[in-house]
Amino acid sequence: MVSNYCFKITNKQQRLGKDKTFFIRTYGCQANERDSEIIKAILLKIGFKEIKDFNKNVDLVILNTCAIRQNAENKVFGLLEQLKKKKETRKIKYFGICGCVAQQPQIIKRLKVKISNIDFFMGTNNIIDLPHILEMVMLKDKQVSRIDKMKSALVENWPNYRETRHKALVNIMYGCNHYCSYCIVPYVRGPIRSRTKENILDEVKCLIKNGCKEITLLGQNVNSYGIDLKQNYTFANLLEDVAKTKIPRIRYATSNPWNFTKEIIDVMAKYKNIMPYIHLPIQSGDETILKLMNRTMKVKDFIALIKYARKKIPCLTVSTDLIVGFPNETNKQFRKTLKLYKKIKFDNAYTFIYSARPNTPASKIIDKVALKTKQKRLTKLNKLVKKYSKWNNNKYITNVVQVLVDGQSKTNKNIFTGYSHNWKVVNFVGQAKIGDIVNVKITSSSLFSLNGEKISC
Ligand code: SAH
Ligand code: F3S
């Protein structure tokens, strides 16, 4: 059972950011987005002001990084070179790296040699140490690394900051114990630590009070929620309790198919405020590859699961993640992924070329497939993704959908955008405010979005 840490700021730390500015750039997943909100909350609390223009002079720059694939890491390294130069010309006073790249000791070692003017490295579980880190850097002129092995305790008293009022990310758990053979997450985010149901529900109720319309419950694999708490209280139970708070819209991410239960589907079917959309990353349509990925699942069970979900929730949309070119994937195995895609007719998919990650079991397999072959497979798969995205989107033409408004077009003040229940981007003509839920009649569809006009009923 995990205990709680208390976030504290000393009197000295309280004034660290007085008359100073910060800029933060976030890479990667929603867990990182939420971490960045917490980092911002801390910086605002100690007096810093945020600036959003990277080209201005700024006191503090933080990169919240992603390590899920090599190209995600490369983006960070590219920006680091720019930051190094800005620091040399005093356009930036201090800069630090946090997130999943910073959690890897071998990378930090490399960076310390290559880019010596990085002021601090902060691990994924060390955000609580940020005031202390800044004190060391700013007042004592020290280079600081705070990268703890995974702490088991959780922090519940973070200062509050949300990017938007109408939508919020709510962590329900941290880390993952599953060790899919290609995945770096368990190494950089540690084992599962679930928050208690009481803390989660309190956060949701507080968000409702502040006018929030939609929450996304976050976990690396939400299906495993609660297994560490050993209270016989599952993700399906939590989802139901959150639905009972009557928040207008609930989503969750991510749910891996191999331990996705029918109970979750049953709860979704029972409550109108749980959005009829599931993101179920299957990764491959070939069972041998799935086994090598340590995501053992029978393809027929996956098909049966989707069939059950679609029967229970007729308006359901389903998307997935797919990796092509897992080590030694054959053409025949790849074609099984295409076959499964055609069978399910997913609404959308995030597709990736396999990327070897340090320390993972898959990275030790000698891979004989050429990158060119993998790229060709990805192109082929993406063609299918587009085809079925358009095919699914066309079904909405003439329908009326409810849209939670996120923003206004920069070029046309009469055009707004938001998401439908089914996680479709909807652009519409008409007047609205951010945070409104409006009815939109769909008049046409594009590859990855719907277009329509606001109607009053
Ligand atoms: N548990 C998280 C993992 C996020 S990673 C979740 O399911 O949300 C998002 C996607 O990135 C994964 O589903 C997978 O398709 C892809 N991915 C992860 N590791 C990868 C790797 N080493 N190479 C290529 N793609 C990878
Ligand atoms: Fe990664 Fe598998 Fe966990 S994809 S986050 S190890 S469920």
Domain ranges of the chain: 13-146, 167-393, 400-455
Taking only the tens place, the pLDDT of each residue in 135-160 is 999 999 999 999 987 666 799 999 99
Atom 4 in ligand 1: residue holding the nearest Cα: 220
Taking only the tens place, the pLDDT of each residue in 240-278 is 999 999 999 999 999 999 999 999 999 999 999 999 999
Supply the DSSP symbol for 194: E
With beta carbons less than 8 A apart as the criterion, state whether 111 and 155 touch: no
The C-alpha atoms of residue 397 and residue 116 are separated, in whole angstroms, by: 56
Residue 140 CB neighbours (<10 A): 8
SS3 336: helix
Q: Which two tokens stand for residue 109?
A: 């070692």
What angle do the packed helices 331-344 and 371-394 form, to 10 degrees?
A: 10
Instruction: Average the pLDDT over 195-214 and give the result.
Output: 97
Q: Which two tokens stand for residue 122?
A: 């902060």
Identical fold between 167-393 and 400-455: no
The C-alpha atoms of residue 93 and residue 102 are separated, in whole angstroms, by: 20
The C-alpha atoms of residue 237 and residue 268 are separated, in whole angstroms, by: 11
Q: Provide CATH code, domain 13-146.
A: 3.40.50.12160
Taking only the tens place, the pLDDT of each residue in 70-119 is 998 888 888 888 888 888 888 899 999 999 999 998 888 888 877 778 99
Protein residues whose CB sits closer than 6 Å to any atom of ligand 1: 29, 68-69, 182-183, 185, 220-221, 254, 256, 281, 283, 321, 323, 352, 354-355, 357
Q: Ligand 2 centroid vs 320 CA: distance in angstroms?
A: 14
- Ligand 2 atom nearest residue 283's Cα: 4
With beta carbons less than 8 A apart as the criterion, state whether 123 and 100 touch: no
Indicate the pTM of the whole model: 0.96
With beta carbons less than 8 A apart as the criterion, state whether 413 and 390 touch: no
Domain 400-455 annotated CATH 3.60.15.10:
no
Q: Which residue has the tokens 């069978």?
A: 343
What angle do the packed helices 235-244 and 197-209 form, to 10 degrees?
A: 30
Q: Which helix (H) or strand (E) holds 344?
A: helix 331-344
Q: Provide CATH code, domain 167-393.
A: 3.80.30.20
Q: In the predicted model, is pLDDT for residue 1 greater than 60?
A: no
- Ligand 1 atom nearest residue 356's Cα: 22
Which pLDDT score, from 0 to 100, does residue 2 have? 61
Q: Give which of 35, 18, 93, 20 is closest to 61, Cα–Cα.
A: 93
